[in-house]
């Protein structure tokens, strides 16, 4: 099979196409012929400096949408020919930027019939992150006020939609040119972070979703109402964060996304209900993964970037 691999850490050009044996599914695993695979910030961070994964050579990619080609012993959820999408177990189950991948069957769900593989491949990691933050961790409820930082990004634009599906009033931070995009997603209020101090513009927030950390994480505590929760997607809380949170009567959680069969089924349900849609900023063939990484690292994209890994026989993915 073809795969994009790296032997060293560094810039996007360390990614090279290689030929490897097709993997064989073990017990409780499925072999998926990958049709499309999202590219996320964690991919280019791992490419550059290893982050959680210092082993080399390394094939990146956690998002996957494709077709089951074989199943290992004990698998009952799927059969060869089923279309599935899911997130490989993060971080150590990496490897979807290839023509085939094996992973636990329960990391997947059936791909909604109404979307193509590019859409499905854009969703798993970012949608699971948003779902686990807003639903499993914060338990967003109707009428609550939710602040989503970087709301036009991969996780952010899906978080806006998930929060709206829960009946929340959603405020998103993004640069002014992206406000129409957020409005179309259902955001109730937008803040231009370049010209407005969010900590002065909003208050009485029930839930903050913060993928930025640093100063944004620290200052977000001030906009929460007593009983509110800040869910951060990156480490880096200040030394006095726990004390400040206690004084304010709020909760701080740091989330690392997990592979989640139930969560993927919930994401699929939201897609089928018309409540969740991934915005795909750009697609690239597998061999052009370096270009996908370079675009992502500009920090100027909205939504997701997707690698088209295998072209099916028909014109539509």
What confidence score (pLDDT) does residue 315 get? Answer: 37
What confidence score (pLDDT) does residue 202 get? Answer: 96
What confidence score (pLDDT) does residue 236 get? Answer: 79
Torsion angle, CA of 218/224/227/228, rounded to 10 degrees?
-80
What confidence score (pLDDT) does residue 206 get? Answer: 98
135 and 113 in one domain? no
168 and 207 in one domain? yes
Question: What is the pTM for the complete model shown?
Answer: 0.95
Its domain, for residue 14, covers 2-123+278-308
39 and 69 in one domain? yes
Q: Is residue 267 part of a domain?
A: no
Q: Is residue 265 part of a domain?
A: no
300 and 220 in one domain? no
Query: What is the spatial distance between Cα 39 and Cα 30, in angstroms, rounded to a whole number?
Result: 22
Q: Is residue 273 part of a domain?
A: no
Q: Is residue 260 part of a domain?
A: no
Q: How many CA atoms lie within 13 A of 91 on its CB side?
A: 16
102 and 10 in one domain? yes
Question: How many beta carbons lie within 10 A of that of residue 74, not counting itself?
Answer: 10
Do 191 and 173 contact (CB within 8 A), yes or no?
yes
DSSP for the chain reads -EEEEESS-SSGGG-EEEE-PPP---TTEEEEEEEEEEE-HHHHHHHHH-TT---SSEE---EEEEEEEEE-TT--S--TT-EEEEEPSTTTT---SBSEEEEEGGGEEEPPTTS-HHHHHHSHHHHHHHHIIIIIIT---TT-EEEETTTTSHHHHHHHHHHHHTT-EEEEEE-GGGHHHHHHHT-SEEEETTTS-HHHH---EEEEEESS-HHHHHHHGGGEEEEEEEEESS----TTHHHHHHHHT-EEEE------HHHHHHHHHHHHTT-----EEEEEEGGGHHHHHHHHTTT---SEEEEE----SSS--
Give helix 154-165 / helix 261-272 axis angle, nearest 10°.
70
CA–chain centroid gap for 310, Å, is 21
What confidence score (pLDDT) does residue 316 get? Answer: 40
Q: Is residue 160 part of a domain?
A: yes
Question: What token pair was written down for 79?
Answer: 């059969």
112 and 63 in one domain? yes
249 and 134 in one domain? yes
132 and 189 in one domain? yes
Provide CB contacts within 8 A for 226, sequence distance 6+: 248, 249, 250
Handedness of CA 55, 61, 63, 66 (dihedral sign): negative
Provide CB contacts within 8 A for 34, sequence distance 6+: 64, 65, 66, 96, 98, 99, 100, 101, 309, 310
Q: Is residue 259 part of a domain?
A: no
What confidence score (pLDDT) does residue 317 get? Answer: 41
What confidence score (pLDDT) does residue 103 get? Answer: 98
**Residue at a domain's end among 238, 254, 270:** 254
Query: Tokens 């969560």 — which residue?
Result: 263
Task: Name the region of 150 (left: φ>0; alpha: ψ -120 to 50; beta: rest).
Answer: left
Q: Is residue 266 part of a domain?
A: no
168 and 73 in one domain? no
Question: How many beta carbons lie within 10 A of that of residue 273, not counting itself?
Answer: 10
pLDDT along the chain (317 residues), means of 10: 97 98 98 98 96 94 98 98 98 97 98 98 98 98 98 98 98 97 97 95 97 90 97 88 95 97 98 98 98 95 94 43
235 and 219 in one domain? yes
The CATH number of whichever domain residue 233 belongs to comes to: 3.40.50.720
Taking the chain, what is the end-to-end CA distance rounded to the nearest angstrom? 19
118 and 47 in one domain? yes
105 and 20 in one domain? yes
| Overall domain count for the chain | 2
Q: Is residue 314 part of a domain?
A: no
The CATH number of whichever domain residue 294 belongs to comes to: 3.90.180.10
DSSP lists the bridge partners of residue 17 as: 4
């Amino acid at each position: 099979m073809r795969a994009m691999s790296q032997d060293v850490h560094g810039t996007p050009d360390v990614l090279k196409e290689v030929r490897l044996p097709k993997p064989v599914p073990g017990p409780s695993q499925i072999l998926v012929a990958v049709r499309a695979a999202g590219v996320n910030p964690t991919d280019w961070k791992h490419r550059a400096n290893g982050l959680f994964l210092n082993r080399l050579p390394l094939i990146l990619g956690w998002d996957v949408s494709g077709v089951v080609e074989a199943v290992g012993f004990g698998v009952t959820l799927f059969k060869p020919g089923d279309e599935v999408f899911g997130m490989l177990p993060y971080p150590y189950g990496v490897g979807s930027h290839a023509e085939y991948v094996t992973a636990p069957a329960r990391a997947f769900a059936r791909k909604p019939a109404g979307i193509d593989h590019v859409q499905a491949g854009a969703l798993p990691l970012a949608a699971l992150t948003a779902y686990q933050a807003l639903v499993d961790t914060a338990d967003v409820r109707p009428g609550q006020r939710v602040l989503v930082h970087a709301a036009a990004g991969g996780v952010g634009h899906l978080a806006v939609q998930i929060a709206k599906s829960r009946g929340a009033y959603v405020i998103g931070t993004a640069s002014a040119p992206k406000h129409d995009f957020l409005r179309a997603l259902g955001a109730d209020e937008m803040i231009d972070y370049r010209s407005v101090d969010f900590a002065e513009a909003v208050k009485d927030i029930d839930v903050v979703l913060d993928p930025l950390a640093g100063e944004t994480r620290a200052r977000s505590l001030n906009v929460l109402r007593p009983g509110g929760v800040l869910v951060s997607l990156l480490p880096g809380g200040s030394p006095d964060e726990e004390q400040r949170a206690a004084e304010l009567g709020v909760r701080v959680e740091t989330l690392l996304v997990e592979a989640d069969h139930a969560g993927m089924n919930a994401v699929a349900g939201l897609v089928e209900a018309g409540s969740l849609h991934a915005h795909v900023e750009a697609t690239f063939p597998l061999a052009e993964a370096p270009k996908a990484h370079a675009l992502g690292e500009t920090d100027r994209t909205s939504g997701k970037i997707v690698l088209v890994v295998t072209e099916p026989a028909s014109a539509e993915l």
